[in-house]
Amino acid sequence: MRGLRIGFVALGLLWGCGDSETGGGGAGLIERPTCDEIGKKCHHSPTELGQECHEFGHDHTNTEEDCKARYAECMAECEGSGEGH
């Protein structure tokens, strides 16, 4: 019986975990489209601020609101640097 409970817990964890890049509307999913855009846009930036923006966008401790506050600054810095992952 204990093994069955462990199996259900493991299945629940696999099914319920996700991040903003996995999509699909799964349980536990936190949408952060602005953060994702910053992280992708600034991936290949050659500047220090651009790399800071890249890391900021991928940092899951930042909220969508945090990313909206830095959006204009980061997009201006990373314009023309190409997109990454």
Give the 3-state DSSP-derived string for the chain, with helices as H, strands as E and coil as C. CHHHHHHHHHHHHHHHCCCCCCCCCCCCCCCCHHHHHHHHHCCCCCCHHHHHHHHHHHCCCCCHHHHHHHHHHHHHHHCCCCCCC
More confident residue, 60 or 12: 60
What six digits make up the tokens of 5? 């409970």
Residue 72: pLDDT above 70? yes
pLDDT at 30: 78
Q: What pLDDT, in 10s, does the model give residues 13-71?
A: 333 333 444 444 455 667 999 999 999 999 999 999 999 999 999 999 999 999 999 99
Non-local CB neighbours of 1 within 8 Å, separated by 6+ positions: none
